[in-house]
Structure 1
Amino acid sequence: MISMLFSYLFRQLHTPTNLLLLSLAVSDFFVGFLMFFQIVLIDGCWLLGDFMCILYYVLDYIITTASIGTMVLISVDRYVAICDPLHYPNKVTQKRVKICVCLCWICSAFIQTLLLKDNLEQPGRYNSCFGECVIVINYIAGLADLFLSFIGPVTVIIVLYMRVFVVAVSHARAMRSHTAALTLECSARTP
């Protein structure tokens, strides 16, 4: 992540793809940072209080959802770069990518805050004893979150990369046939 931050200081590295990679690096850094607090859960006992428990889960959900959303944006970027390379500079601009990254993080924060609203209003509401860190999510809201935050994005990523693979294979075949035709033409000219 630090190398991505330093590389982003140089103007020539300010590309839409690098901005997407920076967003992914930031989210992955914070996922790793939050793992430190998972270690604080000693023998299932949360010692940082009810509010920190809920804040931990809210941040965990936001960062994880933003990370998955950024991976979707990266797959869209690669799809446009491979499948429509001539229009790539016009379609994928620095400004558009900044807007998409901001929307990804904002939507993630909004959805996850809405999902955990009951837990945020009364931290520790579902704990049965001191030191417990429990959150409860409505069944339907949990299913909606599963589809919006995981199944939908992963499906989009798979479909886009399958399309990229098909285009890459067709380009490879075209290049192979072009190379074979040139080789045949050169061998026909040589007496």
Structure 2
Amino acid sequence: MTDAARSALAARLDAALPQTQCTRCGYPDCAAYAHAIAFDDAAVNRCPPGGQEGVVRLAVIARTAAAPLDAACGAESPRTLAVVDEAWCIGCTLCLDACPTDAILGANKRMHTVIEAHCTGCELCIPVCPVDCISLENTSGERTGWDAWSHEQAQAALARYRIHRARRDEPAAVPAPAPEPDRKRSAVEAALARARARRGEA
């Protein structure tokens, strides 16, 4: 297969992925996973958000056999929504950087909140939160995989991801100030101390 044909295949595979950008497949985003399938013969069973139906969709496009979802990547599950516990949020902004669709709204040292319509349930905000104030809520009941997610939602998520990437890649309009690692570290540590104190009082 020529590189042009593989590129076309990668585009079809990418279009069949749920675009949650969760990285559970082991690749940085859905497009990278699709490219790996097309160019490197990566397995088609590494996308938990797509579930077993997603595996079948990819297998048909790649003209390969469909295998059970790879448990090492996670399990098929209902769609979830990230929820910020406002009482414990310290406004560190780490979750804002981690969210691939800019679904979290907030500012430095201000409480954050999740825009439900834009959250893909990717879970990438969970490990970066230093005070564990983000949890996941089931939003699709017993429906899992593509039964809990639609093509329209996938396309909306992809559009937001592309905007997110474009904004992060574009050069700053003015020179950025010199980094102040010690000052930032001190601010985060102070915020963590306050959060621990509040938890102790509770």
Instruction: Please say whether Structure 1 and Structure 2 have the same fold, judged by a TM-score greater than 0.5.
Output: no
Give the TM-score normalised by the residue count of structure 1.
0.28
Which structure features the higher share of helix residues? Answer: 1
TM-score, normalised via structure 2 length? 0.27
Larger Rg: 1
Greater per-residue strand proportion: 2
